[in-house]
Structure 1
Amino acid sequence: MSSNISVLLADDHYLITDILSAFLEAESNISVDAAHTLEEAKEKLRAGKHDIALIDYRMPGVTDTSFVGELAKESPNTKILVFSGAIPDWLAMQIVEAGASGYIPKSMSAQSIVNIICLVKSGQSFIPASLMQFANKKQRSVESLSTLEYQITKMIATGAVNKEIARELNLSDTTVKMHVRSIFSKLDVRNRTEAAIKARHFGIPE
Structure 2
Amino acid sequence: MTETPILNILVLDDQGLVRAGMTELIRISEPRAKVFEASNYAMTIALLDKHYFQFAFLDFDLKAEFSGLDVLKYLHEQEMDTRAVMLSGCLEQDVVFQCLNAGACGYIPKDMSNNGVFRSALDTVLQGGIFLPEPIAGFNIYSNKLFPSLTDPSPESLGINGRCLEVLVYLCQGLSNKAIARKMCVEEGTIRKDYVPKLFRVFKVTRRTELLFEVSKRRIKLPKL
TM-score by length of 2: 0.51
Q: 1:128 to 1:24 in 2, by over 3 A?
A: same
Q: 1:115 to 1:29 in 2, by over 3 A?
A: farther
* CA distance in 2 between partners of 1:36 and 1:66 (Å): 14
1:97 lines up with 2:101 in the alignment? yes
**2:25 matches 1:30:** no
* SS in structure 1 of the partner of residue 8 of structure 2: strand
1:41-52 aligned within 5 A: 41-52=44-55
* Map of 1:78 onto structure 2: 82
CA-based RMSD of the aligned residues comes to 2.6
1:66-102 Cα distance to aligned partner (Å, 9 max, x none): 5422133456111110011225221111111111111
Q: Quote the Cα distance in structure 2 between the aligned partners of 1:5 and 1:66.
A: 24
Worse overlay, 74-83 or 9-18: 74-83
Letter in 1 for 2:28: A
Among candidates 13, 16, 26, match of residue 15 of structure 2? 13
- C-alpha separation in 2, matches of 1:26 and 1:124: 18
What's the offset of the Cα at 1:116?
A: 3.5
Which has the larger share of helix?
1
- SS of the aligned residue for 2:48 comes to helix
For 2:132 and 2:23, locate their aligned partners in 1 and report how far apart those are by CA, in whole Å: 22
The alignment partner of 1:91 has SS state of: helix
Listed one character per residue, the Cα deviations across residues 158-178 of structure 1 (whole Å, up to 9, x for unaligned) are xxxxxxxxxxxxxxxxxxxxx
* CA deviation map 1:137-178 (0-9, x unaligned): xxxxxxxxxxxxxxxxxxxxxxxxxxxxxxxxxxxxxxxxxx
Equivalent pair of 1:5/1:121 in contact (CA under 8 Å): no
* 2:131 partner amino acid: F
Alpha-carbon spacing, 1:116–1:37, altered in 2? closer, same or farther (3 Å): same
Unaligned runs of 5+ in 1: 134-206
Does the CA contact (< 8 Å) of 2:58 and 2:84 recur in 1?
yes
**Higher relative contact order at CA 8 Å, sep ≥6: structure 1 or structure 2?**
2
Q: Is the 8 A contact 2:45 2:71 kept in 1?
A: no
Distance 1:26 1:43, change over 3 A: same
> Which structure is larger by alpha-carbon Rg, 1 or 2?
1
Identity of aligned residues (%): 20
The TM-score, its normalising length taken from structure 1, stands at: 0.55
Q: Which residue of 1 aligns with 2:131?
A: 126
Give, as a single letter, the amino acid of the residue that structure 2 aligns with 1:90. D
